[in-house]
Every structure is written in structure tokens, then in C-alpha cells.
Amino acid sequence: MYAKFTAPVRVLVADSHRILRIGFQVMLQEMGSWQRFEVEQAETTEEAITKIQAGDFQVVVMDYYLPGRGGPKATELIVARRPGICILGWSYHAERTHAEQMIRAGAKGYLLKNIEPETLLSAIRTVMGGNRFYSNEIAQRMLEPVIVQPVEEKMATLSRREKEVFRLVLEGLRSREMAERLRISVRTVDKHKEHIANKLGVRNALGLVQAGLRMGLVRIPPPA
């Protein structure tokens, strides 16, 4: 039996796509027979953090690819400020690594964007009750055994552009400098870095450098 709250449950949906934010809001409003919801929207990580600081939200549905700092980092920052908040990550892709990154950052579950209204409601009930919730496809992925793959083999999964970006990371260039050199946008550079980190199984720039060291791509000069 799920608990029912007398006051409206305040939910923030953080997603760059307006049509998804509106659809999410409509889904919850149509479920008023069980619980009243007050839904607000955010388009970027910065807007989400600002709204959470100003409002008393119980649940946040966070796009993994949210513009700005991205879903995992935004989740980490929000949970640091509001430890009791329930964050549900979501995306179109049933990637185990994405779900694991969100959970490590402090999320309580992970959804796919093709969920049915009943699944969304069940997810909110579950995480507000103190438990985790995963869409069926994600839950199946989480149960699959982890196959440890050598870094060298993972490197072979990178695209040509991702390898270019990886080498520039190891040279110590910032995203803007990489964008200028490769003649692409900073946002595209950051997307490549995110994909590289996912494929190599690391969490941040430090992990990328450590991977480069293991593969001999980074040379540490001997002490003078």
C-alpha cells in the first residue's frame, strides 16, 4: 500500500525538450484521483538548481543529458543541498552506465522516456516511500553480469572524433580550446567527452587521464 500525502506533491521536471515537459505535466495532472501534484519545469541544470533552492520540491525528474552540467552533476549538486529530495533520472536509452552514474550521484531511480502514466506514478510512489525504482528495461540491464573489458579494448569502441577529443583532453586543453581546434561547438565537445567517459568506464576528466596513463598515451617526465 502506498502512502498518500494530504498536501500536493511538488515535482520538478528538468528536460531540454518543452514538449516532454508539458507531456509529463499533463500525465501527472490527469492522475489527481490518487494524489494532487504541483509540477514546475526547468530547461537547464542551472535553472533546475535555482528552482530547487527557491522551492520545496519532493521529487525531481532529471534528464540524463540535461543542458549545462548534465544530469549526473546536477543530481550531485542538488542532493548536496537537499539530501532528502527524490531524484529520478530519465532518458531515451536503456544504458546501464547512465543509470549507475545517476545512482552514484544520488538519484533514487531511472526511467525511460517512453514510460506509461501508470509507471510514472508507480515510480514517484516508490521513491517517495524510500525505495529505488527502475524501468523494466533498465532493471534487466542492472541484473546483467558486468563484463570487465581492458581499457585498450574499450579504446577501440571510440569513434575517430572521440579519439581526437580524447587526445586533446590528455594534452590538457579545455573544452573551448578543443572546440576552436576541431571547429565544432563547445556543447559538441562536452558530448564527446561524456561519450568517451561512458565507453571507457570512467566518471570524469581525472579518470580519462588515468586511462591515458594506463595505455601509455600520457608520459610523465622524469624528475629534474
> What is the identity of the amino acid at 113?
K
60 pairs with which residues across the strands?
A: 12, 87
Instruction: State residue 74's pLDDT score.
Output: 92
Q: Confidence band (pLDDT; 50, 70, 90) for 11?
A: very high
> What is the identity of the amino acid at 43?
E
Provide mean pLDDT across the span 47-65.
Answer: 92
pLDDT at 155 over 80: no
pLDDT at 206 over 70: no
Q: What is the mean pLDDT of the chain?
A: 83
Better-predicted residue by pLDDT, 187 or 200? 187
98 neighbors 90 (Cβ within 8 angstroms): no
Q: Reading across the β-sheet that carries 59-63, which strands appear in turn?
A: 37-42, 9-14, 59-63, 86-91, 109-112, 133-134
What's this model's pTM, rounded to 2 decimal places? 0.63
The x, y and z cell numbers of residue 158, run together, are 571510440
Q: Element (H or E) spanning 169, and its range?
A: helix 160-170
C-alpha 224/C-alpha 204 separation (Å) is 30
Provide mean pLDDT across the span 75-97.
Answer: 90
Q: Confidence band (pLDDT; 50, 70, 90) for 215?
A: low
